[in-house]
Amino acid sequence: MNSFFAQNLRYLRERQKIEQLELAKLLGRKSASSISEWEKGTYTPKSGVISDIARIFNVKIDELMSVDLSRPSNLMSVAPQTVRVPILGVIACGDPILAEENIKGYRFESPEDLPGGTLFYLEAEGDSMEPTIPNGSHVLIREQPEVEYGEIAAVLLNSDSEATLKRVKKQGDMIMLMPDNPAHAPYIITEDNPARIIGKAMRYVQDL
């Protein structure tokens, strides 16, 4: 890879007035040591991290890697400010959904591409919603307490500690959380098996 990455990373970070530790936290890291090593050119991060860095600074990956972005002739046109959308991890019982301890990272999006409302991402785990939602994809959720019949919702189970994605259906007074994969059984909401809808699935994204 071209050595422009190290100098571009430092240039973009300083231009945005972002400290190394702040950038590290945006990338889900606990310390700034990796950022320091990248800027020194000691080593280059993996492609997924490079993609996140490009998204944070709103530049193209090939420009980040192979173009001297500090040269005036290479400055790009102004683009919309990126928005960081939290990715929920394990949810601590009793905490608000978007409490800091529940967030394991962020994805960075253009505000022009986002629906209104309070948004967060859930990572799809397992194949219960395939083929509609692939395992490992990130699903954009709009926070809301109810969804329409047949829509896919983010639902809290197990004393509000486990978030899952299921299609919400009703049969009389019974509410069922249905997987799209017929190999999995539905979850029927009862007093012994409570559940709480926290949002509606809007779309998913999947990194290569």
166 catalytic? Reply is: yes
Closest CA to 163 of 114, 115, 198: 198
Instruction: Pick the catalytic residue from 40, 70, 161, 166.
Output: 166
**Helices in 29-185 by DSSP H: which ranges?**
33-40, 47-56, 61-66
Contact (Cβ atoms closer than 8 angstroms) between residue 52 and residue 9:
no
> Cβ of 138: how many Cβ atoms within 10 Å?
19
Instruction: Pick the catalytic residue from 36, 128, 169, 200.
Output: 128
Contact (Cβ atoms closer than 8 angstroms) between residue 62 and residue 47:
no
31 catalytic? Reply is: no
The amino acid occupying position 129 is M
> Cβ of 127: how many Cβ atoms within 10 Å?
16
Number of alpha helices (DSSP H) and beta strands (DSSP E) in the chain: 5, 9
Query: Which residues are designated catalytic?
Result: 128, 166
